[in-house]
Structure formats: structure tokens, C-alpha cells
Amino acid sequence: MENHLQSVKYKRGEYFQVLDQLKVPHELVYRDIKSVEDAVDAIKRMQVRGAPLIAIVGCFGIAIELGKEIVQIDDKTQLLSYIREKIQALIDARPTAVNMRKEGLRLIDFLEEKAKSRDNVSILKTDVLVWIEDLYKLDLETNKASCAIGKHGAEAILQKYRKNSEGKINVLTICNTGSLATSGYGTALGVIRALHGNGDLNQVYFTETRPYNQGSRLTAFELLVDKIPSTLICDSAVSWLMKNHDISAVIVGADRVVKNGDTANKIGTYQLAIAAKAHGVGFYVAAPFSSIDPTISTGDQIVIEERPGTEVTQIGTRVWNPAFDVTPANLITGIITEIGVFTPEELFVKLDN
Ligand code: MRU
């Protein structure tokens, strides 16, 4: 389970660097992140992207500022208001993905709890650093630990869609959900890696994913490095692909899965789900529990980030450029998590208990 592309490099009190994903695959260049402001900038500019990675980068932005003692914080009240303010700026950088919000609020809770019994601000700062470093390790484990998402997803899809014991399957994915979007193995791409690793994958088709081309640049690169048989298609070719090729399942990532199973993911995901339904193709969302938001009951309440029109055109025409869409739960066959695969209804019951 090699992590071929290291998306972040961090050493406490020394450095924090992110792989500039705007330059991949042509160049592998790391940007030095020296502050939370730098982290917010890298997230907004899409130098780093993907829901789990955004949370890691945001938290490491705080860690590098604290670890290098860039800001002067003299007591625990100052530390708490500093953390609250920085977390809010990081959440606002890209509002649709829930991971930064969830981890940020967990960090605030953790610090508030610690501060009840501790006055020494340098010990509290170290507590925060350790918490953030553990978050990174945990994310790596979630991804890697027996590659749980990959394993559960591959099993569920093969069980339902493999035509015979020898038959290999074709699948379709969108955007980039691999080691570049997480701290390790990947979510939807993790399932695809597992299918390939077990010899069950004939071909993965993947969309170019305009306007940032996370598919044709980033996923293409990861698939080539791993030598996974793959074919790139234009975003507009998905229905025609399903009509003409034997596609068993669509496997996508998630920026936020809400309580009823409605799922926000890269713009274009919703139309994949509609096309899948029309062609009898399975539609799976692969997401760790860190991307599940039980505080929101339906997808209507998810804030969808709208990005500048200049990302799409330079000639002054009017543009609507939503970065994500919401796939309704009734189009989702299964939600693949690190603890198993659930239908949206099953997930709802689980979140309720
Ligand atoms: O705009 P992006 O590139 O951040 O969008 C990424 C996606 O939509 C991914 O599918 C999602 O974040 C899951 S990544 C494991």
C-alpha cells in the first residue's frame, strides 16, 4: 500500500509543505506553508483540495504557527480565542466539505476540555500540536488500516455486480479521491485500487472533471503511477459510456454526506447518478465517517461553494460555476465507509443510534 504521492510534509516546529496540485502532473513542487493565512490561501486557490486533505492542511497550518511560535500567546484565554478565530477562517475557505468544520470543532472541544484543568499555556500548545499530529496519523490509518474503505467497497460491488467468478468489472469515477485528496490511499480511488489489487478490475473510466481537471491531471497521474488500466472520458460522455460499455458501478467520493444520505460531491456527480439509474448501473459513495455530517438532515441545507467565472472562461461571458452538487439519497446504491457499506436508510438508522 504505497503512498506514491506525498501531499503534505510536516515536522513539528520546523516546516510544513504541501504539494501544489495545480502543477501536478507536469511538476511536483511543494509550497512552504508558514501560517494559517498561507493554509487558507492554498485551500482557496485549490493548491490543495479534497475534503480530508483540506482538514489536514488547515490543522497543520495552525500547528506550524504554534510550533514555530509565530504568534505571541500568553495565556489560555488567548489560546482559545486564537484557535476559534483560525478555525473559522479555515472553515470559510471552502464551505461545502465538512471535514475541516468537523475536525476544527473537535479541536476546539478538546482544548476547552483540557483548559478546564490546565493553566500552563505552553503545555496546552503542545496538547494542540499532539492532537493535530494524531489527526494526521488517524487519517492515514483510516485510509490504510487494511484499506478498509477499499476492501468493503470492492467486496460489496463484486457481490452485487460481478457476472461470474472470473468476470472482471468496469467502473467509472469522477474527480480525484486518491492519495492526493487524502493523507494516504484514497476513498473512491481506494476501492478502485482494491479491485485492481485483487485482479477484479478490467478498466476504470474517469471523467476529466472540469474546470480544474482533477480527473485528467490528478487521477490520471495516480492511475498511471499504479499501472491501473484506465480510460479518460470527457464529462459529457458519461451517459454514452454507460449505453455502450459494460459499466458495473460508478464510485465517487464525498465532501459531505448528510443524515438522510444526500451527498455533496464534485459538480457532475449528480448527473452521473441520474445516468447510472437510467442504465441499471450501481452508484456508490465512498466516504470515511469524517465526511458524514449528522447535524444536517437533508442535502438542501448544504452550502454549495460557487467559484469565480474566470475559472471557466476568460472572455467576459456570464458564468455560473458551482464547485459541487448534491446527489439525492434515492439515487445512491451504497455508502462505503471504513466500517462497512450502508444503504442511505441503514446509515440514517446508524446515525440515529
Ligand atoms: O474541489 P475539490 O477538488 O476539492 O473536490 C473534491 C471532491 O469532490 C472529492 O470527491 C471529495 O472531496 C472527496 S476526496 C476523498
The answer to whether 131 and 110 have CB atoms below 8 angstroms apart is yes
Omega cis (within 30) before 322 = no
Mean pLDDT of 204-213: 98
Q: How far is the CA of 156 from the centre of ligand 1 (A)?
A: 23
Model-level pTM greater than 0.75?
A: yes
Q: 49 CB less than 6 Å from ligand 1?
A: yes
The cell numbers describing 258, all together, are: 448528510
Which of 139, 165, 153 shows the shortest CA–CA distance to 286? 153
Q: What is the pLDDT of residues 282-304, one digit of tens each?
A: 999 999 999 999 999 999 999 99
> Rounded distance, CA 284 to CA 216, Å?
21
CA-closest residue to ligand 1 atom 10: 253
Q: 24 CB less than 6 Å from ligand 1?
A: no
Q: How far is the CA of 299 from the centre of ligand 1 (A)?
A: 17
Residue 316, classified by CB atoms within 10 Å of its CB into exposed (0-12), middle (13-18) or buried (19+), is: exposed
Catalytic residue among 127, 200, 235, 255: 255
User: 139: alpha, beta or left, given left = phi > 0 and alpha = psi -120 to 50?
Assistant: alpha
Radius of gyration, CA atoms only, the chain: 20
Omega cis (within 30) before 25 = yes
The cell numbers describing 322, all together, are: 458551482
Q: 50 CB less than 6 Å from ligand 1?
A: yes
Which pLDDT does position 351 carry in this prediction? 92
Counting from 1 in the atom list of ligand 1, the atom nearest the Cα of 49 is 4
> Rounded distance, CA 31 to CA 29, Å?
7
> Rounded distance, CA 102 to CA 71, Å?
24
Q: How far is the CA of 178 from the centre of ligand 1 (A)?
A: 10
Mutate to test the pocket of ligand 1, among 7, 22, 255 (most ligand atoms within 8 A of CB): 255
Q: 47 CB less than 6 Å from ligand 1?
A: no
**Angle at CA 23, nearest 5°, toward 21 and 27?**
115
Q: How far is the CA of 176 from the centre of ligand 1 (A)?
A: 6
Half-sphere exposure of 73 (CA within 13 A, CB side): 25
Q: 253 CB less than 6 Å from ligand 1?
A: yes
The answer to whether 325 and 269 have CB atoms below 8 angstroms apart is yes
CATH match for 8-144 among 3.30.870.10, 1.10.3720.10, 3.30.450.40, 1.20.120.420 = 1.20.120.420
Looking at domain 150-352, its CATH class is: alpha beta
Mutate to test the pocket of ligand 1, among 5, 49, 290 (most ligand atoms within 8 A of CB): 49
Q: 21 CB less than 6 Å from ligand 1?
A: no
Counting from 1 in the atom list of ligand 1, the atom nearest the Cα of 252 is 10
> Rounded distance, CA 234 to CA 254, Å?
21
Q: What is the pLDDT of residues 22-78, one digit of tens each?
A: 999 999 999 999 999 999 999 999 999 999 999 999 999 999 999 998 889 999 999
Q: What is the pLDDT of residues 170-206, one digit of tens each?
A: 999 999 999 899 877 889 999 999 999 999 999 999 9
- DSSP-derived secondary structure for 115-160: HHH---HHHHHHHHHHHHHHHHHHHHHHHHGGGHHHHHHHHHHHHH
Q: How far is the CA of 73 from the centre of ligand 1 (A)?
A: 34
255 is catalytic: yes
User: 343: alpha, beta or left, given left = phi > 0 and alpha = psi -120 to 50?
Assistant: beta
Q: Where are the domains of the chain?
A: 8-144, 150-352
Counting from 1 in the atom list of ligand 1, the atom nearest the Cα of 214 is 3
Which pLDDT does position 4 carry in this prediction? 60
Q: What is the pLDDT of residues 111-163, one digit of tens each?
A: 999 999 999 999 999 999 999 999 998 887 766 654 789 999 999 999 999 87
SS (H, E, C) 288-309: CHHHEECCCCCHHHCCCCECCH
Q: 182 CB less than 6 Å from ligand 1?
A: yes
Q: What are phi and psi of 327, to 5 degrees?
A: -90, 125
* pLDDT score of 3 more than 70: no
Which pLDDT does position 145 carry in this prediction? 52
Q: 187 CB less than 6 Å from ligand 1?
A: yes
